[in-house]
Amino acid sequence: MGPELVRLDQDPRRHHRSPAQQARGCRGGGARRRHPRCRLPPRDRQPGLRTERLLLRPYAAADAPRVLDTLGRSEVIRWLGNPPPAPMADLDEALDWIDVRRQREAADQFDVTRAIVVRDTGVVAGKVSLARAHRLDTGLFMGEYEVGWWLHPDSAGHGYATEAARALIDDVFERGLAEVWCGMYVDNDASAHVAERLGLPFLGVQQDPWYEGDSRLYRVTRDEWLVR
């Protein structure tokens, strides 16, 4: 099993498709859209998950500069879409990105995005998420969710993506989700290594049902995950 999870409130203390390849979510996010701002709760009131080295918590407005610094980098966003999205332009866009993800979780408890925070330093290393996957041919959501991640280049190479994704998958299965998918570019070797370290069953290189072209696809059920 993955690292022990402790909820903070119980602890007394592509849309066609990231170092940079691990930042590929594996997608988990979709296109950025502008929405009216929602109020963000103070950090000390936000729920989260702890692992040995990490805190996974909702993004706060104060994280916007870090989001901008990450998603403004071509070496990160090249793995996030086909064609890749445009680099993030300014803090307003970063704040909108945070707001949209909070709104999505408010509508669906399994559509979650978490900042990967290194507990020893407080640095936001990157993002891990579970996102609704909408079928490419119809645009419909068929109950399928995709786990994804990206990292700021200065936080790559420490195993943070694997540790964070394992904790998030543990959490959503504990809360009743039936299965999790994962997909990535065929040549995204770094993210493939994360998926393999997680023990996600590999389905092969196949036509991607949610994004254009072929992808490396993985799928794990709740029962498979719990007995691994």
| Average pLDDT over every residue of 175-181 | 97
Measured between alpha carbons, how far is residue 126 from residues 1, 13, 79, 195 in Å?
23, 23, 14, 17
pLDDT tens profile 9-27: 333 334 333 334 444 456 5
- 131 contacts 143 by C-beta, under 8 angstroms: no
Alpha carbon distance 55, 40 (integer Å)? 18
How many angstroms separate the CA atoms of 5 and 49, rounded?
Answer: 6
Is the confidence at residue 200, as pLDDT, over 60? yes
Specify the pLDDT at position 31. 38
Q: What is 5-34 written as a DSSP string?
A: PEEGGG---------GGGGS-SS-------
Q: What is the pTM of this model?
A: 0.81
pLDDT above 60: residue 215: yes
**For residues 158-170, average pLDDT:** 98
Which pLDDT value is given to residue 9?
Answer: 33
pLDDT at residue 39 tops 90: no
C-alpha dist (Å) from residue 151 to 115, 120, 131, 133: 10, 17, 17, 21
- pLDDT tier, 211 (very low <50, low <70, confident <90, very high otherwise): confident
**One-letter amino acid of 24:** R
Average of per-residue pLDDT across 157-185: 97
Q: What are the pLDDT digits (tens) for 68-102? A: 999 999 999 988 876 678 999 999 999 999 999 99
Strands 202-207 and 112-118: unpaired
d(C-alpha 210, C-alpha 220), whole Å? 17
What is residue 27's predicted lDDT score, i.e. its pLDDT? 58
Please state, in angstroms and rounded to a whole number, the distance separating the CA atoms of residues 17 and 8.
33
Residue range 6-226, CATH number:
3.40.630.30
Would you list the domain boundaries of the chain?
Answer: 6-226
DSSP string, 34-103: -----PPPPGGG---EE-SSEEEE---GGGHHHHHHHHT-HHHHTTS-SSPPPPP-SHHHHHHHHHHHHH
